[in-house]
Amino acid sequence: MTCIHDHDHAHDHANVDKDTQEMLNRRRIVQALAAGGALTVSAPALSGCATNPETGKKQFLLVGEGQLSQMAASSWAEAKRKTPTSRDPRYLDRLQSIGSRVARGANKGSEQWDYAVFDQDTKNAFVLPGNRVGFYKGMMDFAETDDQIAAILGHEVGHVTGRHAAERVSQQMAGQLVVQGGTAIAGQQLGKKCRSEAEALIAGRTQISREEQYRIRRGYEQCLSGAHRKTQLLNAALGMGFMVGVVLPYSRKHETQSDLLGAKYMHKAGYDPYQSVKLWEKMAENNTRRQPEFMSTHPDPSRRARDLYNYIKYQERLGSQGWESIAMPKNS
C-alpha cells in the first residue's frame, strides 16, 4: 500500500566516535524496528496513509510514535553513556530556554522535552523520537546568536511535527519487502532456467554414461552457483535503486520540510527567521567538500539558504495570512 505524494545540517560527524555515530544514525533505529519481532502495525495506520496537519502532505505510516519513542529511549540513554554531556549552564540552560520558546511556537510547549549538550566540538544536532534533542557544543559555538540556535532547534522540532521518523521507518519496511520479493522471484526464475537446461540434456534418453551424468550434474551446480551470484548482485542493485530512488529523496524532502517548519516556529516564537538563512550560508562556506546532492541525504547548504529566504519572503508577502503553512512560491 502506498500514498500518492506531492512532488515536491550539513553535519560534521568527523569528531564523533564511531559507536556513537552509528548509534545515533536514524537508519539504525529504522533497521532495528524493521527487523524486530516486537514491532506491530498500529491500528490507525492500517489504511497506510494519513495527511500531516503541519506539512499538508500525505504520509505512508505503518508505525506509531509510541513504538518509535520506546525504541529511541535505549539509543538516547546509550548516547549519553558513551559521550560526555555538559552541565555548563552557558550551554544547557541556554539550549533549554531557547528550546522551550521554539516548542511553544510549534504548539508543543505542553509536552515534555529532553535536551542534552554533548561535550564535543562536532557541528551537529539531532532529534530522536520522544522529543529527545541532542546538541553538540561545537554546533552551539558555531551558531553566532540565539536566533541561529533557534533555527537549528526549529529544524529538529520540525522533524518531530513532520513525523519523519515514522515515515522513514515505514518506507524502509515497505522497501525491504519490495527488494526481498524482487530478488526471490528472480532467484526462482534463474533456478528454473538451470533445471530446464539440465532436463533438456537428458530428455528422451534411456541411457547416460556416468561421465556424462557427472558433467550434467556439474553443469547444473555451476549454473545454480551463477544464479546465486546474479541474485546477490540483483539484490544489491535493487537495494541501491530503492535508496537512491525513494529513501534518499524522501530524506531530502524531510530536511527541506524541517527547514521551513523551523523558520515558521522561529517566527511564532519571536525569533528572526532570516537568521536561519545566515546560518546555512555560513554552513555552505564551511562545507566545501560535498558528494553530489542526488547521493546525499541532505540538500546542499546553499540551496537550503536560498529556499529558506524564498519561503520567508513569501510568507511576509502573505501578510496576515502568512506563517500558517510551509507553502512555497510556485516559481521557487
User: Comparing 121 with 237, which gets the higher pLDDT?
Assistant: 121
Indicate whether 273 belongs to any domain.
no
pLDDT digits (tens, 9 = 90+) for 261-302: 999 999 999 999 999 999 999 998 887 665 453 445 678 899
Cα separation, 242 vs 223, in Å, equals 28
What cell does 43 get? 491500528
pLDDT band at 156 (very low <50, low <70, confident <90, very high): very high
pTM across the whole model: 0.67
Those residues whose C-beta lies under 8 Å from the C-beta of residue 195, and which sit 6 or more positions away, are 220
**183 located within any domain:** yes
Number of domains into which the chain is organized: 1
Q: Enumerate the β-bridge partners of residue 136.
A: 118
User: Does residue 236 fall inside a structural domain?
Assistant: yes
Range of the domain at 217: 177-247
Number of other residues whose CB lies within 10 A of the CB of residue 108: 17
pLDDT digits (tens, 9 = 90+) for 170-197: 777 665 655 555 556 666 777 788 888 8
With respect to residue 226, please indicate whether it lies within any of the assigned structural domains.
Answer: yes
- Whether residue 189 lies inside any domain: the answer is yes
